[in-house]
Amino acid sequence: MKISKSILNYLFSFGLTFFVAVCLWQRTAYSQTTITDESREQREFKTEDRLESAGKPETINVLIEKLKERAALKMKEQRRKLLLKTRTSAGVTYGHEKNPANDGLEKGDSFMEENFSFAWTPTFHNSVSADVGIRVAKQDYFEQFLISTNDYAVSGSWKFYPFENRKLSIEPGMEYEWLNYPNDSSSSYEQYRSFINFKHFTGKHWQFGGKYEFFEKTYDKKVARNLSQTDLDFHREDFRNTVDLWIKRFVGRYSLKLKGRMYRNNSNDMYQNYNDYEAIRGYFTIDRTFLRDDKLYVSFSPDYERKYYDYRLAGNEIRQDRILQYNLNLYYTLPHDCTLSASYNWRDSNSNASTGVFTDETYRLGLSADF
């Protein structure tokens, strides 16, 4: 299969960027700045957001095509292909973050991200399919901070269609993830997630759905503390329950989405119940496709979150955080199943605790390929 000159130019540009990034990393790898526990906590929130929002959302045309898959099951050859169906994706991203430490200094840094995923996605019957896969991702900052993460995940889920028209889907599943900080083992953790999703597509204009998720996070080396802030002889563990509900409206090439999230976090770290809190978050997303065959996809999404801690103190008060974000994402489809992406994130955190007050901006430019 021949690759067009434009694709080679894109690959050459990204290869050159990667080479420059490695050179810079070699030159500045020892300019490490200490990252506080507060910063690590904020980075975990941002990492979860990044993983959740990764990938181009489905357009109305893609949804309609999926509803037509049932007809293909009537043919034996098509049935065999659907049993052997897989999904493979790989990509590289260059980015710059204005405030990786999440503090008042706002000392910026650049980073590189590389990711790979593979999934077996068989359709066993017109009402049952599965999704079993692995995900590997690596992120390295290379100018100011010696921050690196290696993310490994294995997941599996079943998808059921109770009705023949396949407009309602129910998807229970599980995932194991290990997030490793090579330069800071106290921040590394593993977690188990169990979840159930549902989606309902009504006609050509409305879609709604929801999700319940429970996860258990265990830190590799960070230990729990007692009420006197003394380290205990067992690992710190966090437990979280999350509920999402959303509704989406399609209007021509536009779509509008409202989403609400509530979650509760509990920890075995007993000092001030430092990591026990509940939060509520609201999202609004507007997106549109452009050009022939919907090659250009653009979305804009503001969201607002309120976080209420149980006993964690901010001076003489119980701590509360308020976080406002704006996300702008662009995806351009290239030949040979490649996608060029660009994104901008602005995050403003306010709190009655000084460590929770900061502003951050992140720019990303990436190239990915699907096989």
State how far the Cα of 227 lies from the Cα of 222, in Å rounded to an integer.
16
Instruction: Kindly indicate the confidence band of residue 309, based on its pLDDT and cuts at 50, 70 and 90.
Output: very high
State how far the Cα of 140 lies from the Cα of 148, in Å rounded to an integer.
4
- The reported pTM is 0.83
Residue 34, amino acid:
T
Residue 291, amino acid:
L
Strand pairing class (338-351; 254-267)? unpaired
Q: Quick one: pLDDT at residue 22? A: 44
DSSP lists the bridge partners of residue 323 as 305, 349
Whether the predicted pLDDT of 162 surpasses 70:
yes
Q: Quick one: pLDDT at residue 19? A: 47
Instruction: Kindly indicate the confidence band of residue 58, based on its pLDDT and cuts at 50, 70 and 90.
Output: low
Chain mean position to CA 106: 24
Handedness of CA 290, 364, 59, 250 (dihedral sign): negative
State how far the Cα of 224 lies from the Cα of 186, in Å rounded to an integer.
12
Q: Quick one: pLDDT at residue 20? A: 46
Whether the predicted pLDDT of 5 surpasses 60:
no
- Are the C-beta atoms of 27 and 334 separated by less than 8 Å? no
The number of folded domains in the chain is: 1
Q: Quick one: pLDDT at residue 135? A: 97
Strand pairing class (296-314; 206-225)? unpaired
State how far the Cα of 88 lies from the Cα of 279, in Å rounded to an integer.
35
Widest CA span of the chain, in angstroms?
70
Q: Which DSSP letter does residue 103 get?
A: S
Tens digits of per-residue pLDDT, 192-229? 999 999 999 887 899 999 999 999 999 999 999 998 88
Tens digits of per-residue pLDDT, 112-155? 999 999 999 999 988 999 999 999 999 999 887 888 999 999 99
Write the CB contacts of 185 (distance below 8 Å, at least 6 apart in sequence).
220, 221
Q: Quick one: pLDDT at residue 146? A: 80
Mean per-residue pLDDT, 345-370: 95
Q: Quick one: pLDDT at residue 165? A: 85
Residue range(s) defining the domain that contains residue 364: 5-370
CATH number assigned to the domain comprising residue 123? 2.40.160.40
Q: Which DSSP letter does residue 71 get?
A: H
- Are the C-beta atoms of 100 and 147 separated by less than 8 Å? yes
Residue 161, amino acid:
Y
Mean per-residue pLDDT, 12-39: 49
Token representation of residue 298: 């653009």
Token representation of residue 240: 């979280």
